[in-house]
Amino acid sequence: MNNQTIGQTEEAKESVEIDKLKMQTYVQEIKDNQNLSLGILGGIGAAVIGATIWAMITTLTNYQIGWMAVGVGFLVGIGVRTLGKGIDLSFGVVGAALSLLGCLAGNLLTVCILISRQENIELFNLLSRLNPSVAVELMKVTFNPMDLLFYGIAVYEGYRFSFRRISEDELSRLTK
């Protein structure tokens, strides 16, 4: 394909006009089929999986990898989008919130695994005795200011990937 053909193709793409009525109808159809409850379930499942993977990798390598937070955010966003199929703002908010919770859970689980090893206590026994005040105290003691950067990126990723996208193929069906 030569430069002239590429230029003509780009001009053709720019000249395609979306039919506003078709677009409104299609967006309403998407909204009618979105499901926030399923999106929340998908996000929770992804947060649990992401937190578990994060804790396993951190304890196996004995190295805290902040970028794992980004993976948690990505997984949560994909989970919310896949099951929720939504385009409303609420899907992004859910993805962001669950990403943060997944990151906190990943850090907390890592600390619990390390304590269970050090104190020779079975992990599930330790987790069953964990209460909110102890969990908060553990998070305070192990907090690193750099965590905020990675949590922020994870929240952004969770938000960004939580929305259903309209594909090029779908857009091509909405032209005048």
**Model confidence pLDDT, tens digit, residues 50-84:** 999 999 999 999 888 888 999 999 999 999 999 99
Structural domain includes residue 40 = yes
Structural domain includes residue 125 = no
Q: Return the structure tokens found at 20.
A: 């506003």
Structural domain includes residue 110 = no
Percent of the chain with pLDDT strictly greater than 90: 69
Region 23-30: mean pLDDT is 87
Per the listing, tokens 């005795």 go with: 129
Structural domain includes residue 42 = yes
Number of domains in the chain: 1
Structural domain includes residue 54 = yes
Q: Return the structure tokens found at 103.
A: 């990151």
8 A C-beta contact, residue 49 and residue 72: no
CA distance linking residue 169 with residue 12, whole number of Å? 16
Using the predicted structure, report yes or no on whether residue 1 has a pLDDT greater than 90: no
Residue environment code for 149-162, b if the CB has 16+ CB neighbours within 10 A, otherwise e = ebbebbbbbbbbbb
- Structural domain span for residue 92: 20-103+146-172
Structural domain includes residue 79 = yes
Structural domain includes residue 68 = yes
- Give 107-152 pLDDT, tens digit per residue: 999 999 999 999 999 999 999 999 999 999 999 999 989 999 999 9
Structural domain includes residue 87 = yes
